Structure 1
């Protein structure tokens, strides 16, 4: 396969895989695509460990990193809050709501010797201050791509990435967003439709992709949102995309680090079992519907807080939930969920990551050949 994206990265298939799992990222790169490691939840030490491991596993093959620097968040004027400042802005009402919620669902507190509490470091998560340090670390491992998942990448991200020889991508949910990204100096646009998992906009992929392609040509565009099979990849490329950016489809692979209880929910879920919710990060993000989202949707519950306060509020409660969610029928099992797109309805079998890549390519070829035969018959 030859597109502007395969030539840009010297890869065999125009499949870019967003994942928080280093094993999945490495497997996609080794299979001929480009694995992109989402690092928003990494500590500095974990980030160095994972990138060194990926670099060793993929050899000369390229890989990427995905950061999150929102255009708007609490404390944006000063480049982000420190952790102490952020905690002081969380209302007692929200803490009390979660305390009562976990008590009703019989979710035990973390044990005193628990080693899982997240060390955010001095800077609050999902802020420019934190991402800046992550970028410095990432560039030392020579990624081929640096992506920003929310809003236009800051000028320093683009400048530093280009100086290190990395291309820069940015996700866009509207054509106007894509135009701003290109004006800022971005090399690739990821047109992410409403169907996507995680932070996503309100325009469906079928409409969004050609709008973005027309708006930013000749800058290459990757289609994202609802792409987990080869036919969907072919559709995105027929709309003008130069490849696919896939995220959700890797969550049920054999290598994925998805919580076992959540993975089982994904495997059993249908395409209508997700919703866009602010209940984890503070910005609309598509996730699996569960008792967690239902409780936050009640009319007598507080509204989610802005980013990054919401993710700091929910961090420990979600760790408590995930710690015991493997017990079938438990309150924690009912509450646990994760980000996933509407493609979850087709994610009904756990396969090796490499096999998912090959299945995408094979079905893509079949779809293209099928369309070609229709033209030939005419």
Structure 2
């Protein structure tokens, strides 16, 4: 067993946090002795309530958490009709560009646009996140994390009143300073290797910087961690544990469509890029024909959050649906958020098995490293 400030803080056996939008992954990691965190922004408030209820039924009182995206910079609209006012801000040239791109690759029309699609995009602002937080705090969560920007003061205060740990993901030293001043209990140093929204600093550079800054508050390393050796390296850098996201995309429980997972299994570590074309903020994902098109001359360029996800969410629904039917054009466009560790994927496994293997390999590596510093017989006699 590896005991750190994280295991003491969260009451878990292993200093492994498993972040994923799939409740099955969250439950699998938690039941294996780690700490599962659900990506709450992937759900409406009603869906989130159902997912958290299901997780609690599976984990039998073991701790778990939720993660939200609450950006500091975002487009705003009329609070009385937020969806319509935001959608009115999307330029016609952007709508035309997306439609032409789908037509170029022969992606068929989908079903009628679901109001839920816009509801999820609108949640990417403080008002939308507030509704999700209300749901989260009605459950037995042990941690709430914010992945974009400093958490609102009322979030930190509310969490602390409820005895819930507050964590925040940071990509630069200046971000960590603001987070610590806001009163967070835990920092996640997320390097550029990570999937999703990342900065440009590598994990091995960023982690010790944030550890030195954080004092007695635990720091987790994130980005480029998918093996026990990489976990051991994070602990050597001073981290109290690891926050893994991309790793679980190689699990059976993860809900990412199979055509995307097949592309992951065939990908190299160099096949990712940071692009704002899905969310409006730079996020690492698997490069595909989608990104090539947005980089061509004549592209209108991405919109700010949440306008960009409102623009492209229906397109991604059509791409996913067509790719699952084997559509060649949709498969060429198909992608998802993934870190550079994608190149190490060799197959799909249960999330609990991945967790236990990660920890076991880390323990073996730490033991091997410890042996490197053992005194020699001659030194011991001296």
CA distance, structure 2, for counterparts of residue 227 and residue 363 of structure 1: 12
Task: Spell out, residue by residue over 1:49-94, the C-alpha distance to the aligned partner (whole angstroms, 9 max, x if none).
Answer: 0000111111120000001101111129x99981111100000000
Q: Does 1:175 align with 2:173?
A: yes
Q: Does 1:71 align with 2:72?
A: yes
Q: Does 1:8 align with 2:9?
A: yes
Could you say which residue in structure 2 is the equivalent of 1:91?
A: 91
Structure 1 residue 118, shift from structure 2 partner: 2.7
Structure 1 residue 194, shift from structure 2 partner: 0.6
**Higher alpha-carbon deviation: 97-106 or 326-335:** 326-335
Q: Where does 1:169-208 land on structure 2 (aligned, <5 Å)?
A: 169-208=167-206
Could you say which residue in structure 2 is the equivalent of 1:317?
A: 315
Could you say which residue in structure 2 is the equivalent of 1:104?
A: 104
Superposition RMSD in Å: 1.7
Q: Does 1:271 align with 2:269?
A: yes
Structure-2 change in CA distance of 1:64 and 1:359 (3 Å): same
The answer to whether the 8 Å contact 2:21/2:39 transfers is yes
User: Secondary structure of 2:233's match?
Assistant: helix
Could you say which residue in structure 2 is the equivalent of 1:235?
A: 233
Task: Spell out, residue by residue over 1:329-372, the C-alpha distance to the aligned partner (whole angstroms, 9 max, x if none).
Answer: 61011111000000101122111111100111111011111111
Structure 1 residue 255, shift from structure 2 partner: 0.9
Q: Structure 2: which 5+ runs fail to align?
A: 377-382
User: Secondary structure of 1:241's match?
Assistant: coil
The answer to whether the 8 Å contact 2:41/2:120 transfers is no
CA distance, structure 1, for counterparts of residue 111 and residue 5 of structure 2: 52
Task: Spell out, residue by residue over 1:275-296, the C-alpha distance to the aligned partner (whole angstroms, 9 max, x if none).
Answer: 0000000000000001111111
CA distance, structure 2, for counterparts of residue 125 and residue 276 of structure 1: 22
CA distance, structure 2, for counterparts of residue 265 and residue 100 of structure 1: 24
Q: Does 1:356 align with 2:339?
A: no
**Higher alpha-carbon deviation: 52-61 or 123-132:** 123-132
Structure 1 residue 297, shift from structure 2 partner: 1.1
**Higher alpha-carbon deviation: 118-127 or 188-197:** 118-127
CA distance, structure 2, for counterparts of residue 63 and residue 79 of structure 1: 33
Could you say which residue in structure 1 is the equivalent of 2:31?
A: 30
- Select the residue among 259, 262, 268 that pairs with 1:261: 259
CA distance, structure 2, for counterparts of residue 288 and residue 74 of structure 1: 26
User: Secondary structure of 2:374's match?
Assistant: helix
The answer to whether the 8 Å contact 1:81/1:124 transfers is no
Could you say which residue in structure 2 is the equivalent of 1:303?
A: 301
Task: Spell out, residue by residue over 1:6-54, the C-alpha distance to the aligned partner (whole angstroms, 9 max, x if none).
Answer: 0011100010111000000011000000100001120111101000011
CA distance, structure 2, for counterparts of residue 86 and residue 134 of structure 1: 20
Q: Structure 1: which 5+ runs fail to align?
A: none
Structure-2 change in CA distance of 1:81 and 1:201 (3 Å): farther
Could you say which residue in structure 2 is the equivalent of 1:130?
A: 128
**Higher alpha-carbon deviation: 67-76 or 118-127:** 118-127
The answer to whether the 8 Å contact 1:68/1:150 transfers is yes
Give TM-score scaled by structure 2 length.
0.95
Structure-2 change in CA distance of 1:27 and 1:368 (3 Å): same
User: Secondary structure of 2:122's match?
Assistant: coil
The answer to whether the 8 Å contact 1:74/1:80 transfers is no
CA distance, structure 1, for counterparts of residue 192 and residue 372 of structure 2: 30
Structure 1 residue 377, shift from structure 2 partner: 5.8
Give TM-score scaled by structure 1 length.
0.96
**Higher alpha-carbon deviation: 324-333 or 289-298:** 324-333
CA distance, structure 2, for counterparts of residue 323 and residue 340 of structure 1: 20
CA distance, structure 2, for counterparts of residue 124 and residue 75 of structure 1: 10
- Select the residue among 329, 343, 347 that pairs with 2:345: 347
CA distance, structure 2, for counterparts of residue 367 and residue 121 of structure 1: 46
CA distance, structure 2, for counterparts of residue 22 and residue 350 of structure 1: 17
Could you say which residue in structure 2 is the equivalent of 1:40?
A: 41
The answer to whether the 8 Å contact 1:82/1:123 transfers is no
Structure-2 change in CA distance of 1:33 and 1:310 (3 Å): same
CA distance, structure 2, for counterparts of residue 80 and residue 284 of structure 1: 30
